[in-house]
Structure 1
Amino acid sequence: MVGKIATVAASVGVRAFNRRSPKSKSTEEECEAEALKPSEDPENKDGGALEAKMSLLNGITVIVGSIIGSGIFVSPTGVLKYTGSVNASLIVWVASGVFSMVGAYCYAELGTMIRVSGADYAYIMETFGPFAAFIRLWIECMIVRPCSQAIVALTFSTYVLKPMFPECDPPNDATRLLAACCILLLTFVNCWSVRAATRVQDWFTYAKLLALFIIIAAGAYQLCLGKTEHFTFEGTTNDVTSIALSFYSGLFAYNGWNYLNFIIEELKDPVRNLPRAIAISCTLVTLVYTFTNIAFYTTLSPTEVLGSAAVAVTFAERLFGWFALSIPLFVAASTFGAVNGVLLTSSRLFYAGAAQGQMPEMLTMVSARATPALAVLAVALLSLLYLTVSDIYALINYVGFATWLSIGAAVVCLPVLRYTQPNLERPIKVNLFFPVIYIICTILVVAFPAVASPYETGVGCLMILTAVPVYLLFIEPRTRIRGLNSITNSTTHLLQKLTLSVRPKIK
């Protein structure tokens, strides 16, 4: 039953699409039907379905490229601000990485047990039903993912334009226009082929890792010269709320470790490759983040780090001379890859929601090149829309706690499914100690910021509750608006013709 999650809605659509006899078709209808057939493209021999083309290396670069964006280059100040000392901040960076590994370990069992796109959305759907899953889908698809992509695209354009405006900030209109071009370019790549999208992810992940390894090497050289005066516990806070907020900042930097689960249907041999990709990626990112922070503090004081708008640039200006000009380009490359990672994985979340009937059916359509083109376009259009909002950062702050709340809910699915569905195949079986510890820590991480920032939490809760009327009016069969099917069906057929997409085949 679980293995058919992504195709239940599609099977209904296929039967409706083929309901009429071929003999009754007019010449025009025959031409339209021919246009909707899968092409003979070598990348898509079967056509009409997402294909498993991603290797273990591709999986690693998806996770690493999604986690490492601009934060580690630009302003790793949140952890230091709330811990009060360099040594305490380094402990939080390591602990946040270990905490993320525990969550990823739990997701490895869920991902190999429920092997469909959508990650925590699919797990919550299977465990708690459609209403809880829709709330997760709504806030993630309509706000968190497109807002995040718009923000990262703006960071990309800012660093590309910065060398042209060394004495001031780049013009706002130019920044947003370049961000839109970035999103549109990567939309084309992701609609063209999965292989092209993963190649972009691979190469830009290598670029950001190269930049960080350069910084780490410079820091190691400084350590050899005895530059250790800033590594103390002096000023460490004893306030529990501040410590919790420091972990909130640290965990935010690791956000993205679960992104490979969103595209598991396109991963080769997921039982073998998913846990390996998660383990390698989380370990690599934890080491890179920790050593990068150590490198920064060999040269910059805590006061300088807190006061710098771009820590990596300040660090490079101190040590690299003219080569420091390359750092903004490396940051731009890092954010470009992060935009691609968000687009690649977010489109599969839209696809999974549509396959469950909780989003328009058109988003399940797969192009002749085996890409969910309409889902990719939906993410891109929402991201472009958010580029017009004056303060999109506020939206992310309002729903930030919801992200960790939903991840915690997904981990809760693990012990619940052990009890309710003990016969499910579990290639990986996690000791229940790990999900219990993760759930407890997640509650603390969510609760303390909520107490410290009640206004933002309240606004975020109201935004989440907007899912309720949407669910009742458009999803729930007993209360949904009548006559929606005729409108959505005609729109779906039109977009099929425009994008040469078909419903996915039933496996």
Structure 2
Amino acid sequence: MADLNKVSNDSGPKTIEEEQGNGESSKLKRKITLMNGVGLIVGTIIGSGIFVSPTGVYQASHSVGLSICIWCLSGVFSTLGALCYAELGTSVTRSGGDYAYIYVAFGPLAAFLRLWMALLIIRPTTQAIVAITFAEYAAKPFFPDCRPPENAIRLLAAVCLCVLTAINCLSTRWAMRIQDIFTVAKLFALVVIILTGVYYIATGHTENFDNAFEGNYDLSSIALSFYSGLFAFGGWNYLNFVTEELQDPYKNLPRAIWIALPIVTAVYVLANVAYFAVLSGVELESSYAVALSFGMRMYGNLTWLVSIFVALSCFGGVNGVLFTSARLFLTGAQENHLPEIFSYIHVKRNTPIPSLIFTCLASLAMLFISDVIVLINYYGQILWFSVAASIAGMIILRYKQPDTPRPIRVHTSIPVIFICACVFLVIFPIPSQPWNTIIGTAITLSGIPVYYLCVKWKNKPQGYIDCSTKVTRCLQQLLELTLPEATQLLSKS
């Protein structure tokens, strides 16, 4: 049984404070307020998805009415999942999200495979894609008649990642302030789109809603439509990755969920109604960026403003993913699933600098892959399988650890419904995308030998241990790092 109250007794290199005789301790500070939490959820969810995903939803369903229903159900589905994660986040209070919950429920190997996918593909590709989308829209006003040069896009995306990494290294409070500001900016942009659509409908333009529910109702196609819709809702569980820095998490975690998810769902559904009012199905399918096509139709010479607001939205999305990714890798390192250096934080700034730098470098590497979108398709089913495993773990822990405090306890029907929906998302796309399933599974299982070689194997050669210790010590002194105080482990030491 995992011991949630076990305190780390690390025997690694001494911290800077110990060497200097300084009795002050360093730890992750609870600087994230309720409104910061709402901003983190809303700001992470609303990235590039709502501006490009409507095309994917419609392409699979070919139905205006069904597409809007899928957006509604995606919001409901995400809210149910977030409520389950609220129970998980207040009973397993470590940061780390899915990784932490799978660790407690199913053990270290299953948790490592989840971390392996996040480390190798999920987080770097997500950050790279949103950063590239930011760069494309930010550069678009300077290239109104053609697509910006590929190298310019990747360079601007790299600058975005490096700037946000530097800010996150310097101050958690600055990172949260950026998140709040850009969340307001992206909500403003979507409200303008919604009001424009309402005006267009009010002037009698309802022809695109004729025969709204004609379309493709094949279950495999519906599942693929949900993939696009749920991609736009990605980030609803990201606050669970930073629960150790959230003020009064027992109250603020569920409150942030109840505030953020209905806002995002309402905004997404109304934005899609606006898109469908202005753009026909053919225009929607042929558009690589729905918001830009919408702007060209409605705003004329002011279309460049749409590009700017989408760029701001993506900038805030990158910040949210970067912030939470670093906390995931920090938690993994504290469980000895990643090199020790990732578990260190800055002595004065209390930010996980090594994890942030690694996250940035991994994302920069993804910028050199010609078609990074393909990687997203490989991990989609595995991602939803891991989410379902986390929720299943919640039910298991209710029976294995009945005495664990649960400030929030959702009705059992909610996780059961959610798991059934996840099973639908995992199984039904297999016939139309078998290779994605095979490759995604193979990448995940490739973590098994890595686990036994790098984690389970304890009697490593002394030369390797000495070299690792020297590198860790050098980086610790160079970056002014220390171990967080009294780290509560998910496992027994």
Matched, 1:431 2:431: no
Q: Which amino acid aligns with 1:319?
A: M
Aligned twin of 1:391: 371
- Indicate if the aligned counterparts of 1:32 and 1:497 stay in contact, CA closer than 8 A: no
Alignment-mate amino acid for residue 402 of structure 2: P
Residue identity opposite 1:290 in structure 2:
V
Match of 2:166 in 1: 188
Moved more, 100-109 or 63-72: 63-72
Q: Which amino acid aligns with 2:112?
A: F
Counterpart amino acid of residue 46 in structure 2: I
**Do structure 1's residue 342 and structure 2's residue 344 form an aligned pair?**
no
Does 1:48 pair with 2:45?
Answer: no
The corresponding residue for 1:309 is 288
Seen in structure 2, the aligned counterparts of structure 1 residues 322 and 118 have a Cα distance that, compared at 3 Å, is same
Match of 2:345 in 1: 366
State how far apart, in whole Å, the 1-side matches of 2:306 and 2:93 are. 39
The 2-side partners of 1:138 and 1:426 are apart by: 29
Q: Is the 8 A contact 2:137 2:311 kept in 1?
A: yes
User: Where do residues 54-133 of structure 1 align in structure 2 (5 Å cutoff)?
Assistant: 54-133=32-111
Contact (CA 8 Å) 1:358, 1:475: kept in 2 or not?
Answer: yes
> Is contact 2:55-2:288 (8 Å) kept?
no
Please report how far the alpha carbon of residue 115 of structure 1 lies from its aligned counterpart in structure 2 after TM superposition: 0.7
For residues 197-208 of structure 1, what are the structure 2 equivalents within 5 Å?
197-208=175-186
Question: Counterparts of 1:420 and 1:288 in 2: how far apart (Å)?
Answer: 40
SS of structure 1 residue aligned to 2:10: helix
Aligned equivalent of 1:267: 246
Q: CA shift at 1:175, angstroms? A: 1.2
Letter in 2 for 1:130: P
Write the distance in 1 (CA, Å) between the matches of 2:181 and 2:394.
35
2:311 corresponds, among 301, 316, 332, to: 332
Hey, what's the Cα distance between the residues in 2 that align with 1:220 and 1:145? 36
Q: CA deviation at 1:3?
A: 4.1
1:382 and 1:293 map into 2 onto residues whose CA distance is 33
How many angstroms apart in 1 are the aligned matches of 2:305 and 2:77? 33
Task: Write the deviation string for residues 126-145 of structure 1: whole angstroms up to 9, x where unpaired.
Answer: 11110000000010122110
Q: 2:383 aligns with which of 403, 408, 412?
A: 403
- Do structure 1's residue 462 and structure 2's residue 442 form an aligned pair? yes
Partner of 1:245: 224
What's the CA shift for 1:323? 2.3
What TM-score do you get using the length of structure 1 for normalisation? 0.92
Question: CA, structure 1 residues 289+164, in 2 after alignment: closer, same or farther (shift >3 Å)?
Answer: same
- Shift in Å, 1:437: 0.9
Amino acid at match of 2:439: V
Deviation per CA, 1:161-184: give whole Å up to 9, x if none.
112222222111111111111111
2:147 pairs with one of 169, 183, 186: 169
Q: Whole-Å Cα distance in 1 between the matches of residues 180 and 3 of structure 2?
A: 31
Q: Distance in 1 between matches of 2:465 and 2:458?
A: 15
SS at match of 2:51: helix
Match of 1:498 in 2: 478
Aligned pair partner of 1:134 in 98, 108, 112: 112
Residue in 2 aligned with 1:376? 356
Residue in 2 aligned with 1:41? none
Percent identical: 46
Give the SS at the match of 1:450.
coil
Partners of 1:417 and 1:458 lie apart in 2 by 30
Q: Structure 1 residue 206: deviation in Å?
A: 0.8
Q: TM-score, normalised by structure 2?
A: 0.94
Cα deviation, residue 506, structure 1: 1.1
Q: Which amino acid aligns with 1:33?
A: E
- Aligned equivalents of 2:113 and 2:337: distance in 1? 10
- State how far apart, in whole Å, the 1-side matches of 2:131 and 2:476 are: 29
Instruction: State whether structure 2 residue 17 is matched by structure 1 residue 17.
Output: no
The SS at the match of 1:163 is: helix
> What is the CA distance between 1:118 and its match in structure 2?
0.2
> Could you tell which deviates more after superposition, 225-234 or 99-108?
225-234
Do residues 33 (structure 1) and 19 (structure 2) align? yes
Partner of residue 217, structure 1: 195
**1:329-369 deviation digits (Å, cap 9, x = unpaired):** 00110111111011000000000000111001111111020
Instruction: Give the whole-Å Cα distance in 2 for the aligned partners of 1:101 and 1:134.
Output: 27
Conserved 8 A contact 1:141-1:349: no
3-state SS, counterpart of residue 424 of structure 1:
coil
Deviation at 1:311, TM superposition (A): 1.3
Stretch deviating more after TM superposition (101-110 or 162-171) = 162-171
Q: Residues of 1 paired with 2:22 and 2:192: CA distance?
A: 50
Give, as a single letter, the amino acid of the residue that structure 2 aligns with 1:417: L
Structure 1 unmatched ranges of 5 or more: 19-29, 39-45
The one-letter code matched in structure 1 to 2:186 is K
Counterpart amino acid of residue 210 in structure 1: F
Aligned partners of 1:364, 1:417: CA distance in 2, in Å?
27
Superposed CA offset, 1:102-124 (max 9, x none): 11110000000011110111111
| C-alpha separation in 1, matches of 2:414 and 2:72 | 17
Q: Could you tell me how far 1:233 is from its partner in structure 2?
A: 2.9
Question: SS of 2:456's equivalent?
Answer: coil
Match of 2:279 in 1: 300
Q: Aligned pair in 2 of structure 1 residues 112, 31: CA closer, same or farther (>3 Å)?
A: closer
Equivalent position amino acid for 2:292 in 1: V
String of CA shifts for 1:256-292, please: whole Å, max 9, x gaps. Answer: 1000000010000000000011121111110000000
Query: How many angstroms does 1:159 deviate by?
Result: 1.1
Whether contact under 8 Å (2:83, 2:254) holds in the other structure is yes
**Matches of 2:351 and 2:92, distance apart in 1:** 21
| Distance change (3 Å), C-alpha of 1:227 and 1:480 | farther
Unaligned residue ranges in structure 2 (runs of 5+): 488-493
Deviates more, 1:310-319 or 1:113-122: 310-319
Task: Count residues in correspondence.
Answer: 484
User: 1:2, 1:114 within 8 Å by CA — same for their partners in 2?
Assistant: no
SS at match of 2:404: coil
Once the two structures are superposed, residues 370-429 of structure 1 have per-residue CA deviations (whole angstroms, 9 ceiling, x without a partner) of: 111111111011111111222222112111211111111100111100111101000001
Whole-angstrom distance in 2 between the partners of 1:477 and 1:495 = 24
Query: What amino acid does structure 1 have at the position aligned with 2:100?
Result: A
Q: CA deviation at 1:477?
A: 3.5
Q: Which amino acid aligns with 1:105?
A: L
Secondary structure of the structure 1 residue equivalent to 2:180: helix
CA contact (8 A) 2:66 2:213 kept: no
**Residue 201 (structure 1) shift:** 0.6
Q: State the distance in 1 between where 2:61 and 2:264 align.
A: 21
Alignment partners' CA distance in 2, 1:481 and 1:101? 49
